[in-house]
A and B are shown apart, each in its own frame.
Chain A
Amino acid sequence: MSIHSKIVPYLFLLPAVLLLLIFNLWPTAATLHQSLHAQSFISNKLVFVGLENFERILKDPIFWKSVQVTLIFSILVNPIQIVLALMLALLANQRVRGIALFRSIYLLPVAVSINVTTVVWGLMLDSDSGLINGILATLSLPKQPFLTAPSHALWSIILLATWKGVPLWALFFLAGLQGIPESVIEAAKIDGANRRQIFRHITLPLLRAVLLFVLVADTVANFLLIAPVYSLTQGGPQLSTNLIMFETYRRGFVYNDLSTAAAMLWVMLIFVLLVVLFQAFVLRRRD
C-alpha cells in the first residue's frame, strides 16, 4: 500500500471518531471521574472521595432492591421476548396469501415510540376503567390493579415492553430464517428427517449468530428501559418497578446526587458487560 493510503482510513474515520470521542467517550470517562468525587456543600466544587460513592451504594438497601428488581425483570423479560420473537418470526415466515399485510401489522410496534406505547398501554392498563380491565369485566373476571399493586406493576411493564419489543427482534429472526437455503431443508427431508429434527438440527443451529445478536441487543435495550417506569409508576408501588436505570435517574436528576448516580452507572455497566460476556460464552460452548 502506498504512503498515501496509510492516511486515507484515518481521514474517513476522522469525523465520526472526533464526534464519538467528544460526545460519547469523554462523557463516559467524565462519569467515572464524577463517581470518584462528591459535591462540596460549601464551595460547590467536586472533592475527591475515592470509592466512597461506591461503598455508599453497596450499603444502600434501596440500591440493592433496585438490583433485585432489575435482575427479576431481566430474567423474565429477555427470555419471554426472545421466545415470542422467534415464534412470531416462524409465523411470519409462513408462505400464505396475505402474508405481506400481516407482516406490515407486525411492524407497527417497531415504528411506534416507547413514549407512545407508554401512553396507550398506560391508559389501557388503568386500574379503574382501562380497556384490559374492560375485557376482564366482559369475561366476568375481577378487576386487576395492573399499575397500582406491587404484585402486578412489574408484569405490566414487562407486558408493555414485550408488545413494543417482540416485533423488532422477530425481524432479525425472520431475516435469519429467510437466509436458510431451501436446499438444506429439502436435503434433510430426503434423508428422512422429520419436522422436529429439522428444527432442532438445522434451523436453530443456523440461527445461532442471529440469536447471539438478539440476546445481547435485547438485554442491553431492556437495561435502558426507563420511559414506562418514569411515566407510569415512578418506580413504585413499593419500589416494585424501581429498575436500576430509573433509580440512577432519580438519584442524579431528582435528588441532584450526580456522584452517586455516576457510581451506579458504573455498577450497571459492569453488570451489562458481564451479561453480554456470559451469553457469548454460553453460545460459543454450545458449538
Chain B
Amino acid sequence: MSGVIHFIESLNLGGKRSAAETLLVYALHIVVAAVFILPLMWAIAASFSPNQEVFKYAYPFSWRALLPSNFTLAAYENLFARDFGVALSNTFVLGMIVVFVGGVVNSMAGFAFARFNFRGKRLLFVAIILITFLIPIDLTAIPRFILISELKWINTWPALIVPGLANSLVIFLFRQFFEEIPQDLIDAARVDGASWFSVFYRIVLPLSRPVLITAALLMFLSQWDSFFWPLLVAPHPALRVVQVEIAISIGEYQTLWNELLAGSMLAAIVPILLLLPFQRYYIQAITSSGLKD
C-alpha cells in the first residue's frame, strides 16, 4: 500500500514529468474515475429503461448497460404519479430554512468561541461541541422523539426543522474561520464605536464568504440526506422527505428496480448540482480548518 502511495507521490514532484509518467497519471485517473462514474451511469441508464430490462445488459455485462437501450420515462412518470414531487419540494424547502436559520445560529456561536474570552468557554466548547459532535445523534433519538411528541410536534414542520438547526460541526467550522480574521479589523471598528453585533454583521460576515458557502452546503446536504429522524417524527405522506420516500420504496416497490433507481437519481442530482460549482469554496474552507494544529 505505502509503496503505491510513494509511487503516486513520486509522479508529483516538480514540473518535469516525462511523457511516460504523464501517460501513467492519465491512466490512473481514468481507472479511478471509472470506478466512481460507472455505477452512476448504469443507474441512470437503468432508470430510463423498462423495468424488465434493468438487468438485461448488467448480467452478463455488456457496455449497453451504460446507455438506455429502450429509452422510456415510465419510471419517472410513475414516481411523480405517487407524490415523489412532494417529497422533493418538501426536502428542498426544509433545506433552505435550515441553511438560513441554522446559518445565523451557528455563525453567531462560532464567533463567540473564536473572538471572546469568557467564563466557562472551555467547558462549553468541550461539552457542547465535542460531545454533541461525537455522540451519534440517531442513538439519542428515543428521548428526543418523546420530547417532540410531548410538544405535539409529530408530523409538523418544526419537528423536522428545529432539532437540526444548531450543528456543532458547523459551529466548529465557523470558529476555525473566524479565528483567522485579523484582530486589527475588529479593533478598528470597535474604536469607531461599532457594537459587537454590527462588527459581526458588517465586518466579519462579509469576509466569510467561503465558510458561509461551505456551511450552507454542509447544512443543506445533511438536511437533504437526513433519513432516520424524519422517518420517526414525520412519516405522514404530506411531510415526507426524499430519503424516507426512497427507503419506503425499497420495501414497498422492491422489484420496481427502475423506479428505485429513478428516485435515487432524482435524490442525487440536487446535491450534485450544488456541490460541483462550489467545490472551490468547499476545499478552501477545509484548508483553513484542516491545516490548523
- A residues sitting closer than 8 Å to B (CB atoms) are 5-6, 8-10, 12-13, 15-17, 19-28, 30-31, 34, 83, 86-88, 90-91, 93-96, 102-116, 119-121, 123-124, 126, 128-131, 133-135, 137-138, 163, 167, 171-172, 174-176, 178-179, 185, 189, 195-196, 198-199, 203, 208-210, 213, 220, 223-224, 226-227, 231, 245, 248-249, 252, 258, 261-262, 265, 268-269, 272-273, 276
| Interface assignment of B140: CB less than 8 Å from any CB of chain A | yes
Determine if A265 and B196 form an interchain contact, defined as CB atoms under 8 angstroms apart: no
Contact indicator B39/A110 (Cβ below 8 Å): no
Of A116, A126, A226, chain B has the most CB atoms within 10 Å of the CB of A116
Question: What are 24 contact pairs spanning A and B, CB under 8 A?
Answer: A17-B128, A22-B147, A24-B168, A25-B127, A28-B140, A31-B139, A83-B2, A83-B5, A87-B4, A90-B12, A96-B25, A107-B275, A111-B276, A114-B225, A115-B247, A116-B264, A119-B261, A120-B39, A120-B40, A120-B261, A163-B39, A189-B13, A248-B139, A268-B136
Residues on A with C-beta less than 8 A from B138 are: 224, 226, 245, 249
Q: Is the CB of B166 within 8 A of A15?
A: yes
User: Cβ of A134 and Cβ of B58 under 8 Å apart?
Assistant: yes
For chain B, the count of residues having a C-beta within 8 Å of the partner chain is 106
User: Whole-angstrom distance from the CB of B223 to the nearest CB of chain A?
Assistant: 11
Q: By the criterion CB–CB under 8 Å, are A245 and B250 in contact? A: no
Tell me the minimal C-beta distance from A50 to chain B in angstroms: 19
From residue A52, how far is it (CB to closest CB) to chain B in Å? 18
Known pairs A17-B109, A104-B276; A131 contacts B9 (CB<8 A): no
Among B69-77, B80-88, B278-286, which stretch is in contact with chain A? B278-286
| Min distance, Cβ B122 to any Cβ of chain A, angstroms | 13
Contact status B9-A245, CB under 8 Å: no
A113–B243 CB distance below 8 A? yes
The answer on a CB contact under 8 Å between B290 and A209 is yes
**Which of A83, A90, A163, A265 has the most CB atoms of chain B within a 10 A radius of its CB?**
A90
CB within 8 Å of A: which of B146-198? 146-147, 162-163, 165-166, 168, 171, 196
Residues of B within 8 A of A107 (CB): 275-276, 279
Q: Taking CB as reference atom, which chain B residue is nearest A265? A: B139
Taking a contact as CB atoms closer than 8 A, the residue among B40, B105, B135 that contacts A269 in the complex is B135
Distance between Cα atoms of A135 and B62 in the complex (Å): 8
Known A-B contacts A16-B108, A20-B168, A27-B144; A138 and B60 likewise in contact (beta carbons under 8 Å):
yes
Determine whether the beta carbon of A106 is less than 8 Å from that of B65.
no
Kindly identify which residue among A112, A137, A198, A209 contacts B268, using a CB–CB cutoff of 8 Å.
Answer: A112
Q: Is the CB of A90 within 8 A of B5?
A: yes
**Number of A-B pairs whose CB atoms are under 8 Å?**
299
Q: Which of B36, B127, B142, B260 contacts A167 (CB 8 A)?
A: B36
Most buried by A among B22, B29, B147, B168: B29
- Cα separation A12 to B105 with both chains bound (whole Å): 8
Cβ–Cβ contact B134 & A195, under 8 A: no
Chain B nearest CB, measured from A38 CB (Å): 14
Nearest-neighbor residue (CB-CB) of B251 within chain A: A231
Check B290–A213 contact: CB distance below 8 A: yes
> When A12-B111, A209-B290 are in contact, do A34 and B132 touch as well, CB less than 8 Å?
no
Q: Which of B14, B124, B139 contacts A189 (CB 8 A)?
A: B14
* Cβ-defined contact, A13 with B109, below 8 A: yes
Does B118 lie within 8 Å of A19, measured CB to CB? no
> With contacts A94-B12, A175-B286, A269-B134 known, is A111 near B275, CB below 8 A?
yes
For the complex, is B78 an interface residue (Cβ under 8 Å from A)? no
Cβ-based interface call for B20 (8 A):
no
B residues in contact (CB < 8 Å) with A: 1-2, 4-6, 8-15, 22, 25-26, 28-29, 32-33, 35-37, 39-40, 42-43, 46, 54-55, 57-62, 65, 104-106, 108-109, 111-113, 116, 118, 121, 124, 127-128, 131-132, 134-144, 146-147, 162-163, 165-166, 168, 171, 196, 200, 221, 224-225, 227-228, 243, 246-247, 250, 257, 260-261, 263-265, 267-268, 271-272, 274-276, 279, 282-284, 286-287, 290-293
Residues of A close to B121: CB separation below 8 A = 9
Which A residues touch B4, using CB under 8 A? 87
Q: Is the CB of A258 within 8 A of B142?
A: yes
Interface contact A176-B65, CB-CB below 8 Å: no
Q: What residue of chain B has the Cβ atom nearest to residue A135's Cβ?
A: B61
Pair A199/B6 contact, Cβ less than 8 Å:
yes
Assembled-state Cα–Cα distance A148/B146 (Å): 37
Residue from B14, B132, B137, B291 within 8 A of A179 (CB atoms): B291
A135-B61, A213-B290 as given contacts; A91 in contact with B13, CB under 8 Å: no
Chain A residues with CB below 8 A from B5, complex form: 83, 86-87, 90, 199
Docked complex Cα distance between A90 and B267 (Å): 30
Partner of B132, one of A25, A111, A123, A176: A25
* Contact status B132-A130, CB under 8 Å: no
Bound-complex Cα distance A60 to B105 (A): 43
Given known contacts A16-B166, A23-B163, A27-B143, is B134 in contact with A220 (CB within 8 Å)?
yes
Beta-carbon contact of A231 and B247 below 8 Å: yes
Task: For A272, list chain B residues within 8 Å (CB).
Answer: 134, 136
A249 CA to B232 CA, complexed, in Å: 12
Do A34 and B143 have beta carbons less than 8 Å apart?
yes
* Closest beta carbon of chain B to A117's beta carbon, Å: 8
